[in-house]
Structure 1
Amino acid sequence: MLKTLITAAIVSASLSAAATAQENETLRVGMSGGYFPFTFVRQDELQGFEVDMMNAVGEETGLDIEFETMSFSGLVGALEAGRIDTIANQITITPEREEAFAFTQPYVIDGAQVVTREGNDEIEGVEDLRGQSVAVNLGSNFEQLLRDLPYADEIEIRTYESNIEQDVALGRVDAFVMDRVSSAQVIQESPLPLELAGEPFSEIRNALPFRDTEDGRTLRDRVNEALATLKEDGTLTGISEKWFGVDITAPVSE
């Protein structure tokens, strides 16, 4: 009887360890699913640049990628609470975020872009945002970029969960600020009367944040190695060219 109980205990412990190991082999990736062409849903299928990139990371690391979609503004809280392991939704590296999270190397290097309704001659770039209402996605870094401008107190900044492009096209807000690549894609794909205003400003670098714990840093290092390999073998370039027609994963000078 004792031997049976010991055997059962060993089996139970082994199954528990196996379940834990299996859980550790899953990378839970949070994203909004509403930021074309990086992460979006079309015909009930989650797709986009960052979806393909994370699937490639999964193949390289042997990790099972589990996508979890939620509002963009809730992603950081979900990461902090441990409900997800990282965020793949154009998270820009900032000093404040570097204090809170362990980041991978950048996988997108871009610039912030002003977008207006077609024919808006009053705004020809970021320097013309004085006295204007400007929309940004709630929880994004673009709000902070605008607040860092020397004339930020002259800009009416509005935060949006969605419909940012529609409100600019309808004249409810004067402009919006988004990354250059996404802005160009939105204009190309959308029937809305929108146009780029001026040149990109303030270089931004997107990377994957992990919790700054021993386990989080270990997982970050594993993913970071995969990103390095995917850059070296051209996989990231191929994914970028598929979605954007250009390589957004390296500095322009490279």
Structure 2
Amino acid sequence: MLKQILPAISVAAAIAGAPVLAQDTETLRVGMSGGYFPFTFVRQDELQGFEVDVMNAVGEEAGLEIEFETMSFSGLIGALEAERIDTIANQITITPEREAKFAFTQPYVIDGAQVVTREGNSEIEGVEDLSGKTVAVNLGSNFEQLLRDLPNADEIDIRTYESNIEQDTALGRVDAFVMDRVSSAQVIAESPLPLELAGAPFSEIRNALPFRSDEAGQAMRDRVDAALTSLQEDGTLAEISRKWFDSDITKPAE
């Protein structure tokens, strides 16, 4: 597991023999997969991406030390529930089910679900053409539920993947995959695989940071949410977005 750990104990406190504060008081443990380009990924042994930059900016604004922990995407919610991490920065979509369990910050990415196919696949020109097709989604993501909410869901063969979702689509092992619009466009631009967007995004999704709904979790949520507000107002979030996407994905499209 890759970790980026920042010092959490001051030299003065150590010398004075002061008790060590609990990790979740001044250190924010942030879980992410490290495998979701360009939001969170590892290149040359360095964890980087839009989410990393946002959380580092949040830490600076809120006076928090940020500690990143990477793990499989499907294990992130469980790690949050088990108190191994304090929040998740991996494009977590707000859903009614998740809102019932977690305290969310304000959305900091407004996006849409996107169908992607092998280049030249004329049979699929959008979500309406997925009946009778095999469609891949990342395991643990909200895209599976979005597909199951479609009127023709019982006609779609939905398959969950931990990895190789783009490769199996390009090789024809599945007919399409569904990911967020921004990531899909970036994957196509960066990948040598013959892939293309199929139609327009079919559902707006709002991504935010989830915290546990106990007193400590809600207090930390409020602290981080205030930092996000400041970063939105001073243009920092927009600047980070343009760095990675050449556009501002932190606000609804005009």
TM-score range, shorter chain: over 0.9
State the AA in 2 paired with 1:141: N
> 1:79, 1:14 → 2: CA distance?
31
**Could you tell me which residue of structure 2 aligns to residue 29 of structure 1?**
30
Q: Which amino acid aligns with 1:58?
A: G
Query: What are the within-5 Å matches in structure 2 for residues 92-241 of structure 1?
Result: 92-241=93-242
Counterpart of 1:31, as a letter, is M
- For 1:148, the aligned partner's letter is D
Q: Deviations over 1:171-228 (max 9, x none)?
A: 0000000000000000000000000000001100000000000000000000000000
Cα distance change, pair 210–22 in 1 and its aligned pair in 2 (3 A): closer
Alignment-derived partner of residue 15 in structure 1: 18
- Secondary structure (helix, strand or coil) at the match of 1:201 reads coil
* Two-structure CA RMSD over aligned residues (Å): 1.5
Which whole-Å CA distance do the structure 1 matches of 2:28 and 2:185 have between them?
A: 31
Tell me which stretches of 4 or more aligned residues in structure 1 moved more than 6 Å. Answer: none
The TM-score, its normalising length taken from structure 2, stands at 0.93
Task: Give 1:121 shift.
Answer: 0.3
What CA distance in whole angstroms lies between the structure 2 residues aligned with 1:75 and 1:21? 21
1 CA distance for matches of 2:203 and 2:182?
14
TM-superposition CA deviations, 1:29-75 (whole Å, max 9, x none)? 00000000000000000000000000000000110000000000000
SS at match of 1:20: coil
**Percent same amino acid at aligned positions?**
82
Count how many residue pairs are aligned between Structure 1 and Structure 2.
241
For residues 192 and 214 of structure 1, what CA distance do their matches in structure 2 show? 47
Structure 2 alignment gaps of length 5 or more = 1-13
Question: Which deviations, in whole Å up to 9, do the C-alpha atoms of 1:102-128 show, x marking residues without a partner?
Answer: 000000000000000001000000000
Q: In 1, Cα distance between the equivalents of 2:68 and 2:88?
A: 10
Give the distance between the partners of 2:23 and 2:106, measured in 1 at CA. 26
Shift of 1:15: 2.1
TM-score by length of 1: 0.93
* Greater percentage in helix: 1
